[in-house]
Chains A and B, each alone.
Chain A
Amino acid sequence: MNVIPPEAIPSLSDEDLLVQRLRDRDESAMTLFYDRYSAALYGVIMRIVKKEEEAEDVLQESMVKIWNSFGSYDAGKGRLFTWVMNVSRNLAIDKIRSRQYRVGSRTQPLEDSAAVREAASPTFRPEHIGLQEMTKQLNPDQQQVVDMLYFGGYTQSEVAEELDLPLGTVKTRARAAIKVLSKLIR
């Protein structure tokens, strides 16, 4: 047993262990969960809601939701990371939707919503995987479409309408963008 140094154990088993502890309703596992996933989740939440205070709310709601609906996580269908990222992303999108609903600005003029989306939040952590490196590989049209779909919660037809593009073009761009992203890590 003691022949294998802990670093040699693949990180996947860390995730398995965490999943096991969450399944066993081990509350202390959520501290570990926070330390491991909060940066990734918070980064995406901030990218969507833009405000630190709301991002904190969404992060906490995400933790509650992840804990409460952990039974519906199926490790056979995908990684824990993917699942929790989707939970947080959807909560964050719901947040901005309800905000827009309150203000009644779901159909604001294009310049407005585009400006909000494009305002560079000062929150990227360049040292991580290299957002710059990744976005450099995407052309701006592709990035715009994939960002609207992934961070904006738009459907493809809504993107087509908002950008005044044929639906086919939107689909082609989304597919091309994701192809580029998955090639980068292969």
Chain B
Amino acid sequence: MDTQQYIESGVLEEYALGILPEAERAEVERLAGIHPEIRHELDAIVMGLDAYAEAHSLTPPPAMRDRVLAGWQQAVRGQASEENTISLPPMSVAPEPVAAQPTATFTPPVASAASEPVVRPISSAPEPMQQAPARGYGWLMAASVALLLSLGANYLLYNRWQHTQSELFAVQQEQAQFATTQQASQKLLATQQGELAVLRDEQFRHVTLAGTPAAPSAKARVLYNPATRAVYVDVRSLPVPPAGKQYQLWALDNGKPVDAGVLAASTAAGEGLQQMKDIASAQAFAMTVENVGGSPTPTLSTMTVVGNI
């Protein structure tokens, strides 16, 4: 088989995005197992998407850790006890307190990893205190408390710093987005000003193109300036062309069709004016449905609108 062609087909990307039907997924996995070059390409694609996903990483709030782990445990034990209820009724009760235990021990809001080493010296402190002079241990206590406080403060500051950083990034993103929107608006404004100028220009002749019997409700207009040869098309309503097809405008000059260019999908949908190819001379305009990219000659059976100047 031509593995290069298979790689180029785009099916591996679809596999990685998870949008392939089950049967095709299995086929990709089968071929990756046989052809090392497909395996290699597939791995690279999957790693790329994984890295993109990982780039969105976001540490959950610290308090979420215990809630999610406890919730998970409850769900899993719940299932286990449901399975056991008939054969071993006491079992379903027994694990419950155990399940509740971790929640109780993890309650301090400070991440447990950070608090553990600090808490231990304090809990072990009272015992030796009875034999040794209290003063030395007093210092130890004070130092422990100071350390605990400092850890707490560090933790808060770190959290706040992280928060500030993500806020800053969010604001930067918003700003970038705003700039993009602004640019798009400027472009749209310039386009519409251009369209308005064409519509107001008295040199332009307005040619109404009416629907043919094939599409009686179709309606469009051509704005033609014989002096500058400029041609614009303005669609009121056109049937949606079939897949792989596109509208093409023709100028009829002494009965001979001259290609005036194809209509963009947005133009055909009536979103705005589109400038077409310059036309030196014409007595009528018409539109036909052609293959995407246009044809050298019109397919007369697909003529949708036509109009004389």
Contact = CB atoms under 8 A, between A and B. Distances in A.
B180 A123 contact: no
Interface string B7-47: 00010011011110000000001000000000000001111
A134 B60 contact: no
Interface string A161-186: 00010110001001100111111111
B65 A129 contact: no
A60 B75 contact: yes
A136 B39 CA distance: 28
A34 B265 contact: no
A185 B50 CA distance: 10
Contacts of B47: 182, 185
Chain A interface, DSSP helix/strand/loop, else mixed: helix
A124 to B, nearest CB: 6
A81 B50 contact: yes
B1 interface: no
A18 interface: no
Given A56-B64, A86-B18, A79 B50 contact: yes
Interface stretch (A7-15, A61-69, A94-102): A61-69
Contacts of A77: 29
Contacts of B57: 39-40, 42-43, 125, 128-129
Interface string B89-101: 0000000000000
Given A34-B65, A64-B72, A134-B52, A149 B170 contact: no
Contacts of B200: none
Interface in A61-90: 63-64, 67-68, 77-79, 81-82, 85-86, 89-90
A121 interface: yes
Contacts of A81: 50, 54
Interface string B228-249: 0000000000000001000000
B76 interface: yes
A126 B72 contact: no
B126 interface: no
A129 B17 contact: no
Contact of A123 (B58, B76, B266): B58
A49 interface: no
B52 A150 contact: yes
Contacts of B46: 78-79, 82
Given A86-B18, A118-B177, A149-B17, A178 B48 contact: yes
10 contacts: A67-B72, A82-B46, A122-B169, A124-B173, A125-B59, A129-B55, A129-B57, A146-B52, A166-B243, A182-B49
Interface of B: 10, 13-14, 16-19, 29, 44-61, 64-65, 67-69, 71-73, 75-76, 79, 162, 165-167, 169-170, 173-174, 177, 180, 243, 265-266, 269, 292
Interface of A: 27, 30-31, 34, 38-40, 42-44, 46-47, 52, 55-56, 59-60, 63-64, 67-68, 77-79, 81-82, 85-86, 89-90, 118, 120-132, 134, 140, 146, 149-150, 155-156, 164, 166-167, 171, 174-175, 178-186
